[in-house]
Amino acid sequence: DPNIFAIATGIEEHNNYAVEFIEGTRWIKQNLPHALISGGVSNVSFSFRGNEPVREAIHSVFLNHTVAAGMDMGIVNAGQLVLVDDIPAELREAVEDIVLNRRPDGTDRMLEIAEKYRGTGTGEAKSTMDMSWRELPVNERLAHSLVKGIDTFVLEDAEEARMAAARPLHVIEGPLMDGMNIVGDLFGAGKMFLPQVVKSARVMKKAVAHLMPFMEAEAMATVKGDVHDIGKNIVGVVLQCNGFEIVDLGVMVPTQKILDTAIAEKCDIIGLSGLITPSLDEMVTVASEMQRQGFTLPLMIGGATTSKLHTALKIAPMYQQPVVHVLDASRAVGVAASLLGANKAAYAAQITEEYEALVARRKANQAEDKRVSLPEARANKQLLDFSTYTPTAPQTPGITVFEDYPLEDLVACIDWTPFFQSWQLFGKYPDILTDNVVGTEAQKLFDDAQKMLKT
């Protein structure tokens, strides 16, 4: 099961990941002829999450090459694969370019056409670029440049903003950060891709370079036991592009090496990353060691298996300094700036209050969860006698299709408990609506959902 990593992320080192998997597969078949090879195919297209037509094209082209190289099983939704010959010629060529890393500008060319194939897979490119945004106030022009990844005018706009601001830093913390926050919202909603985030960050870097960078140092590492580093690398690029100096320790980093490096490099923040579940325990270890050794640096937590709730429950209590969970790469700049800015004490207090509320809510839910002991549960098991049991036959075998079923009649069948859980409101419906802790917010959310169902 060789690793399949995302390509076309905007980071040059990632461009050859698909080629390396194909070549690795071919090598395994030649040197270990009895070995069978599998791979998680969807990873390769992660940069374009939210654009399913493009992802499907990438999967099909990638599979076309990997199967030819000898891969036996690809882990992918087979119902969402398309025939390679059915992919539009323009899209197929662009996908082949990034899968085979045939040209250095492959990612940029892919981004240029990707939006045409979002949703219906059809679309017409604009024949002329809309320049009306140049008539906006300078702060809005800077934000627009960041969101769209346009660096053509960023120097002159940054200079104009600098002349109007009391300090150059105010331009960074104002319009530039406003733009990056928009980028973060779009990325979080799946409306921007990783390479676009990196492109926006590079526009930010160009502006910051003109404004005397706000230089701080941060040590970053993927914790011991975890070999994944794509997310960490992207965070590093985004932070570097925003004027932060990054000390990247790589992957599988022992706790003491992280702490020793933070001291030696005089870092202002420590960032921990992890993709797999064992990483969570290692992060707790790092936090407890930071407390034991008297560290005062803020600690940033990120990675696919991490969450705000886990950070509040398990990591933050181990370390009496600020510990902040960062949702994704695009949020890292805002968090880091807040941890080091003039209002860092207020920000830390806000985070502490937010996390304490999360912990209290979790404990309240757990207190209501009354469980019996394991022996009691086993003694209460259902006794089944299949020798005397005859399954009930369905009245209508096969699939029954309701061609014209009124949707409003289905509302009463909705299980609202998972809906509330997805919004981090824990409790069973309908009791959650009168819950002492989350009842008010749950009722508001429920009312909004009812309005949406009616429209």
The set of catalytic residues is 226, 228, 279
Cα dihedral sign for 370, 375, 380, 381? Answer: positive
Type of residue at 314: K
Q: Smallest Cα–Cα separation from 110: which of 51, 67, 182, 153?
A: 51
Tell me if 274 sits within 8 A of 234, measured CB to CB: no
CB 287 within 8 A of CB 299: yes
Q: Amino acid identity, residue 83?
A: L
Q: Are 318 and 350 in contact (CB under 8 A)?
A: no
* CA 415 to centroid of chain Cα atoms: 27
User: What is the identity of the amino acid at 122?
Assistant: T
User: What kind and span of H or E run contains 424?
Assistant: none
**β-strands 216-222, 244-248 pairing:** parallel
| Three-class secondary structure of residue 248 per DSSP | strand
Q: Give the distance from CA 423 to its chain's centroid.
A: 17
Helices (H), 327-383: 332-340, 344-367, 374-379
Q: What is the DSSP letter of 254?
A: -
What distance in Å separates the CA atoms of residue 76 and residue 139, rounded to the nearest whole number?
44
Q: What does the angle CA 267 – CA 183 – CA 8 come to, to the nearest 5 degrees?
A: 85
Place of tokens 């085979």: 100
317 secondary structure, DSSP code:
G
Largest CA distance in the chain: 87
- Tell me, what amino acid is at 165? A
